Every structure is written in C-alpha cells, then in structure tokens.
C-alpha cells in the first residue's frame, strides 16, 4: 500500500537530530524520497566534527527508503541554491520543503551581544527565507511551463515567536518573523500551486533541554508527550498533497495536541472624525484596554 507521500521529494533542513530527524524519518516512512540537510554544528551554531545528515540518510536507506545527505549552509544563497539543486539533480523534482534548522544563543537583553543576535536571526529567519526563495523560484518556473505543482512549505516557528520568551529576545524575534514570512509567502505563492504553513512545536530536543528539564526522562510506560516524533505526523500531512486548501496557517503542536493559532485581529476600537489630544488618547486607550482580552503571558515572565 502506498504511503501518504509516495512519489514526493521532500527537503528537510536541520534534519540531523531532534525534530528534523524525526520529520525526515516520518516522511520516508510514508514513501517520500528525502534530502536530509544538516550543517553539523553544535547547539550554539559553532562547528561540530560530527556529520549527522549522513547518518540519518543512512538510517532511511537501511529501512528501505531513499535519501541523500546535504551539508550546505542554508543561510547562504549558495547553500540554499545547492539544497534545491541537490533534490532536482538526485530525484528530478521537488515537492515539499520543511524549514527546521536553527540553534540558540540565549541571553537576557542587556547581556545579548550583537553577534548572538545576528547569528540566531541569520540561521532561523534567513535560513527560512533563502531555501523558500529558491524552492519557490523552481515552482514558479514549473507553473509557467504548464506544470503547476502540488508544492508544500512547512516552516518552523515557536511559542517564543507567538508569545515571547524571557532570555530569548533574539530567538523570539526570529521566530515571530517566520510567522510573518509564512503569511506573506502563502499569499504570494498560491498562484504557483504552493501551500505554506508553519508549526510552533514543543518537544524534547537539544534546544529545549533547559526549558523541559523536568520532562527530559521519557516515562517507563505510557505516552511520551515530549518525544519529537509526536510533532512529525502533522508536518508530514501538511507536506503532502492531502493538505490541499490549507495554507497561511500556524499550528501549535505538542504530544497529542494540535491547536490552530489565531493571530492578530482587530479588537476594541475607538474612532472619531478629529484629532485626539494626548490626554483624550490616553483615556480612550484605557477604556479600550478594559474591553480587550488579557494577553497570554510571556514564557518565563
């Protein structure tokens, strides 16, 4: 029996470990041919002598699937272009892009160096934009040639990007940017047969060891709610042709829970045909705030 992604070619960035590895294995289990990307760096983005992409590709092939490793830096134009080229050269097509790569350099804002800001924004936000750009250019060319694809992009945001997270100003800003990028891309690329969605996952990985320190040990029996494999089924479905009509959405997912996240919407409003004085604006704003929903607290606040 064919899997949900039989015949599809899927690229997963940051797929050497954690969530990316779980996604790559899950796509392969559903019949996809997978390009496993991982630069092979440490948790903070510094060089790591390990080469996890090759190991995951080997794991997929050992289970009877098809996979190829890619170790390029997807936060560079050359690396992102070579990622898409690897899929096309190896398998002759590209159907799904899962943007997942990232690392952390957590600091309180007053201690956050410019380099730590730039590095995290670069890998998360630029590392989403460049693969998306090159994949979209390919799908646009396919559409113009009369071959409109059933293409899918799944981006990776975070609860930190939706609500903020103390000590993670750089990470929160980058992940919030990914949500906005997802909404723009979904609107711009729909004409080319591309659906674009984002997830905000919570799972036990290298990046979340401190956040989930009290849940690091999997239970001896029962359901391990923090296993990264729990997130992958939604990613696989969003990356398949079965998700037709679902685009421009953000989903929070953890364990057995899937939540459709609803972003900024107009709330209470005051309007008048003349300019406010500062005092009047303040009085009107306080009245509006008394009618508005209380925002969710920032993580760690």
> Active-site residue among 126, 175, 232, 240?
175
Distance CA 150, CA 8 (A): 10
The pTM assigned to this predicted structure is 0.91
Contact between 166 and 300 (Cβ < 8 Å): yes
Distance CA 159, CA 124 (A): 14
Q: Is position 175 annotated as part of the catalytic site? A: yes
> Active-site residue among 171, 232, 240, 243?
171
* Ranges under pLDDT 50 in the chain: 1, 45, 209, 211-216
Please state the domain extents for the chain. 9-261
pLDDT at 110: 95
pLDDT in tens, 68-99: 999 999 999 999 999 999 999 999 999 999 99
Q: 169-189 and 114-121 helices cross at what angle (nearest 10)?
A: 30
pLDDT at 204: 82
CATH topology of domain 9-261: Rossmann fold (3.40.50)
- Residue whose tokens read 């609860």: 159
pLDDT at 183: 98
pLDDT at 213: 46
Cβ atoms within 10 Å of 212's Cβ, excluding its own: 14
> Active-site residue among 82, 157, 158, 165?
158
pLDDT in tens, 29-68: 999 999 999 987 655 545 555 679 999 999 999 999 999 9
């Amino acid at each position: 029996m064919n899997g949900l992604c039989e015949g599809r070619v899927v690229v997963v960035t940051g797929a050497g470990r954690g969530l990316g590895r779980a996604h790559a294995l899950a796509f392969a289990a559903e019949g996809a041919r997978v390009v496993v990307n991982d630069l092979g760096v440490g948790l903070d983005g510094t060089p790591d002598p390990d080469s996890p992409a090759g190991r995951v590709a080997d794991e997929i092939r050992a289970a009877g699937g098809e996979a190829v490793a890619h170790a390029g830096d997807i936060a560079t134009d050359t690396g992102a272009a070579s990622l898409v080229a690897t899929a096309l050269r190896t398998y002759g097509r590209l159907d799904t892009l899962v943007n997942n790569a990232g690392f952390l350099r957590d600091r309180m804002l007053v201690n956050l160096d410019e380099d730590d800001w730039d590095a995290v924004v670069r890998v998360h936000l630029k590392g989403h934009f460049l693969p998306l750009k090159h994949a979209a250019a390919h799908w646009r060319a396919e559409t113009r040639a009369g071959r409109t694809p059933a293409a899918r992009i799944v981006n990776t945001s975070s609860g930190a990007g939706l609500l903020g997270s103390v000590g993670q100003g750089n990470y929160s800003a980058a992940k919030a940017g990914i949500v906005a990028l997802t909404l723009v891309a979904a609107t711009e690329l729909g004409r080319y047969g591309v659906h674009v969605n984002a997830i905000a996952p919570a799972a036990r990985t290298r990046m979340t060891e401190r956040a989930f320190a009290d849940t690091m040990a999997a239970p001896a029996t029962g359901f391990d709610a923090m296993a990264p494999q729990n997130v992958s089924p939604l990613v696989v479905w969003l990356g398949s042709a079965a998700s037709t009509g679902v685009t421009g959405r953000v989903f929070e997912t953890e364990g057995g829970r899937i939540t459709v996240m609803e972003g900024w919407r107009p709330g209470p409003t005051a309007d008048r045909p003349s300019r406010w004085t500062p005092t009047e604006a303040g009085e009107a704003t306080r009245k509006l705030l008394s009618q508005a929903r209380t925002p969710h607290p920032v993580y760690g606040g």
